[in-house]
Each structure stands twice: as structure tokens, then as C-alpha cells.
Amino acid sequence: MLRRIIYEDWQLIFPVVALAVASLVYLAAAWRASRMKPAQADRLANLPFENR
């Protein structure tokens, strides 16, 4: 059947680093969106519908 994956000590760093990087990217996007000025948010909300 399925065997349990046994990590060596040095191999544990890869999932931890991947989680940290993904978390930082998500938090940076959320921080930037929360600090956005209303005028810029309105401009970005209408971007796909603008005609050039």
C-alpha cells in the first residue's frame, strides 16, 4: 500500500520556504490592495472595459 514519506532534516526546508514565499506574495498583494486609493481602484476596475 502507500508508505509514509519520511523527510530528512534538510529536505524539510523546501516546503517551508515555498509556504513562506507564497504567504509573502499573498500578503503583499493584500497589503497593496488595502492601501490603494479609491480613484486608482475605480480606474483599475474599469480597465477591461476601456476603449482605446
d(CA 31, CA 21): 15
- pLDDT on residue 29: 95
pLDDT, mean of residues 12-37: 93
d(CA 30, CA 41): 13
pLDDT band at residue 47 under the 50/70/90 scheme: confident
Q: What is the pTM assigned to this prediction?
A: 0.61
